[in-house]
């Protein structure tokens, strides 16, 4: 296992030097944040990013993410041009020696939460998802400024985009994902890059939009449709674990045994209802997920890929990007490294 950490570039208050000082840290998970979605990433920009990270004594371990344009998800005529741009980005990342690309196929919204700063009993703050709160929101009429909402859209553009999905069923969205995979996975194979799709977060429909990457059956279908070592998954314990019906250990063992578990997000959540949860400390006793069992299953399958602590609480008065402060994620990384070391010594 290679411990990694998410970094949002030069404007991130968390610095590369901060990250390097976390014990056991191997590499960085990041992206180019100034390239419009749908455009090919410039080779020079990729090289500069890699050079910056390596100068800090770390490795560029994962690109998270190369966003998939909505026209590809909708199957619009422009998708072939956009897929070629995406393929060009894969080639350039491969040339730069980047081994893993994490991406998602969630319509309109990325990961979604209903509250930014829910105060926990210990005074720390965390992200929450409350189904009742979300059900009262209107993404077209409301002024939304929460994690996962794409603020690049105006209200009118958001309305048009959501309307465009009115006729997109789960099956149609899968067909569009299949079309995308059939074209980019051969490119990834040639480039020496593996593609790791991130599960839907949360793993159920929101605002009536289709969701097709939420459980074992859906993950198996998409990885088997283009059966290639380059077509794999990002295992996210927090995303998949929000649905108690998802057997996390079975998912790890299945995709790990197939060589298709390319990246892991290991975070904890506390389920507070059938479709509600709050993000917790990584500690097993703090949430609903047994992190020792999760890491044990990863170790059992011989997982050697990048793993990172995911969203953390904001603790000790830290300010910054919700979910992405330094302190709690650093504690998470140390905790996860400790579990891994203990498992490794016990099983050696």
Instruction: Give me the DSSP letters along 173-204.
Output: HHHHHHHHHHHHHHHHHHHT-EEEEPPPSSSS
The question of whether 265 is a catalytic residue gets the answer: yes
The question of whether 86 is a catalytic residue gets the answer: no
Say which of 236, 254, 262, 335 is annotated catalytic. Answer: 236
Cα distances (angstroms) measured from residue 101 to each of 90, 176, 198, 342, 344 = 8, 19, 10, 29, 27
Tell me how far the alpha carbon of residue 135 is from its chain's centroid.
24
| C-beta neighbour count of 336 within 10 angstroms | 24
Say which of 71, 201, 310, 328 is annotated catalytic. Answer: 310
Say which of 86, 103, 165, 324 is annotated catalytic. Answer: 324
Q: Which residues contact 185 (CB under 8 A, 6 or more apart)?
A: 195, 226, 228, 230, 231
Q: Which residues contact 136 (CB under 8 A, 6 or more apart)?
A: none
Cα distances (angstroms) measured from residue 334 to each of 52, 130, 160 = 24, 29, 45
Say which of 69, 254, 262, 265 is annotated catalytic. Answer: 265
Q: Which two tokens stand for residue 276?
A: 């509600």
The question of whether 324 is a catalytic residue gets the answer: yes
Say which of 69, 198, 254, 282 is annotated catalytic. Answer: 198
Say which of 165, 200, 311, 335 is annotated catalytic. Answer: 311
Residue among 252, 331, 326 nearest 289 (CA):
252
The question of whether 102 is a catalytic residue gets the answer: no
Residues acting as catalytic residues: 198, 236, 265, 310-311, 324
């Amino acid at each position: 296992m290679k411990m990694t950490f998410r970094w949002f570039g030069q404007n991130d208050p968390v610095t590369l030097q901060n990250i390097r000082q976390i014990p056991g840290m191997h590499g960085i998970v990041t992206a180019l944040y100034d390239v419009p979605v749908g455009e090919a990433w410039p080779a020079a920009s990729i090289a500069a990013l890699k050079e910056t990270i390596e100068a800090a004594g770390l490795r560029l371990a994962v690109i998270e993410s190369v966003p998939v344009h909505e026209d590809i998800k909708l199957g619009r005529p422009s998708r072939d041009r956009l897929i070629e741009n995406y393929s060009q980005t894969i080639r350039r990342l491969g040339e730069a020696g980047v081994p893993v690309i994490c991406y998602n196929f969630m319509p309109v919204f990325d990961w979604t939460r209903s509250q930014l700063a829910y105060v926990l009993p210990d005074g720390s703050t965390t992200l929450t998802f409350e189904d009742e709160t979300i059900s009262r929101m209107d993404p077209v009429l409301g002024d939304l400024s929460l994690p996962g909402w794409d603020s690049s859209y105006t209200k009118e553009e958001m309305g048009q985009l959501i309307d465009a999905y009115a006729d997109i069923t789960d099956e149609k969205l899968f067909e569009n994902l299949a079309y995308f995979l059939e074209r980019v996975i051969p490119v990834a194979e040639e480039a020496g890059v593996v593609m790791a799709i991130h599960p839907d977060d949360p793993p159920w429909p929101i605002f009536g939009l289709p969701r097709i990457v939420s459980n074992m059956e859906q993950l198996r279908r998409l990885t088997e449709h283009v059966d290639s070592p380059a077509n794999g998954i990002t295992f996210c314990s927090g995303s998949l674990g929000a649905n108690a019906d998802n057997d996390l250990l079975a998912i790890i063992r299945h995709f790990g045994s197939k060589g298709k578990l390319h990246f892991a997000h290991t975070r904890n959540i506390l389920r507070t209802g059938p479709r509600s949860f709050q993000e917790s400390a990584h500690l097993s006793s703090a949430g609903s997920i047994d992190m020792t069992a999760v890491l044990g299953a990863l170790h059992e399958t011989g997982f050697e890929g990048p793993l990172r602590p995911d969203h953390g609480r904001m603790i000790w008065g830290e300010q910054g990007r919700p979910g992405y402060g330094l302190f709690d994620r650093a504690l998470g990384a140390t905790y996860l490294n400790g579990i891994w070391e203990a498992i490794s010594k016990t099983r050696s």
